[in-house]
Amino acid sequence: MNGSTVTEFVFLDFSGSYATHLFLLTLVLTCYTIILLGNFLIMVTVRSEPKLFQCPMYFFLSNLSFLDVSLGSVATPKLVTDLLNNGGTISYEGCMTQVFFMHLIGGIEMFLLSVMAYDRYVAICHPLRYMTIMDRQCCHIFIIFCWTATLIHAFFQTVVVAQLPYCGPNVLDNFFCDIPQVIKLACAEIYVSEILLVLSDSVIILPSLMALLMSYATILATLCGHFGKGGSKALSTCGSHLMVVGLSYGPVVYVYTKPSSNSELDKMASVFYMVVTPALNPLIYTLRNEEMKGAMRKLKNKCKHLLLPGQE
């Protein structure tokens, strides 16, 4: 036992008027619907089209869609309930579960975005060897590495937080269990724990960010001066990926690198990262991608023929 007497944590409600709450509730429900429908549509489309399913880029995209659904489901259903009830609570065990899955899914996404950047580097800089280098075995090895490394990271982070004693305040100024707010409630010295958590985060964030930046620096250098049809298509694909990277990294950097804290802005940044970004990702990847739009049209026609077999 860690000496904790706290059995539950209380989430503070978002401040603001009834209209603000209604707007936020509508936004969250709309985004969560798009998260489920949009990302499941991507996964089904990739699976149903052999050409896409055999392509490493779309294999990784379908994995990203699965992670977006998972990330959006960690706290969003409870956030909707708490918005309807003007606040809520979560058990100690439920809080630690949220901590684990937030860091697990978030860490895998960061690694996967770097793998996707490397995939684009190989496709653009070594096109003739692309399918040899990025064969299905290599893709599976990348995915296994992402999950294994991040499982260790998430387990370590959760253990560090859970071993602290919580015996006093139990109010979290957030809508989910985020480590920076949770450890501040510990009734013990947290300096060593904070150092361990920062080091653990650095092991995930720095290598993935460096690999991502190196891949795109090389891609841009290779494409410099090649703005023909092939170069434009490559830039469009990379542009979509960079938009997703910016949407994923931006709120995280804002929340975790500021010396001071504005709780309302932090909460809105967290809503953006956990709810809005996973909803925008399928729109970015489908609206800017002709192959995905073509595959979705084929899938639509297949479904139409199955439901209405007598119609052409």
Residue at 222 is within a domain: yes
Residue at 180 is within a domain: yes
DSSP type of residue 170? -
How many residues are given for the chain? 312
Partnered with residue 9 across adjacent β-strands are 90
Query: Over the stretch 222-271, which tens digit does the pLDDT of each residue have?
Result: 877 555 555 566 666 677 777 888 877 777 767 665 554 556 677 777 78
pLDDT at 224: 74
CA 87 → CA 4, 78, 180, 264, distances in Å?
A: 23, 10, 20, 15
Question: Under a CB-based contact definition with an 8 Å cutoff, are residues 12 and 89 in contact?
Answer: no
Interatomic CA distance for residues 278 and 28, integer angstroms: 11
Write the DSSP string, 254-301.
HHHH-SS--HHHHHHHHHIIIIIHHHHHHHHHHHT-HHHHHHHHHHHH
CA 192 to chain centre: 28
Residue at 210 is within a domain: yes
Residue at 57 is within a domain: yes
Interatomic CA distance for residues 170 and 191, integer angstroms: 20
Residue at 2 is within a domain: no
Question: Under a CB-based contact definition with an 8 Å cutoff, are residues 62 and 42 in contact?
Answer: yes
pLDDT at 234: 65
pLDDT at 310: 54
pLDDT at 100: 96
Residue at 312 is within a domain: no
Interatomic CA distance for residues 176 and 98, integer angstroms: 7
Sign of CA dihedral 205, 77, 287, 265: negative
Residue segments in the chain with a per-residue pLDDT below the cut of 50: 260, 312
Residue the block writes with tokens 């991608």 = 289
Residue at 273 is within a domain: yes
User: Which CATH number does the domain housing residue 155 bear?
Assistant: 1.20.1070.10
Residue at 231 is within a domain: yes
Burial of 84 (0-12, 13-18, 19+ CB in 10 A): exposed
Interatomic CA distance for residues 236 and 234, integer angstroms: 5
Q: Residue 11: enclosing H or E segment and its boundaries? A: strand 8-11
Interatomic CA distance for residues 47 and 288, integer angstroms: 19
Q: How many CA atoms lie within 13 A of 85 on its CB side?
A: 13
One-letter amino acid of 247: L
Report CA dihedral (212, 178, 97, 168) to the nearest 10 degrees. 150
Tell me the residue range of the domain where 273 lies.
8-307
Interatomic CA distance for residues 113 and 92, integer angstroms: 32
Please tell me the total count of domains within the chain. Answer: 1
pLDDT at 150: 95
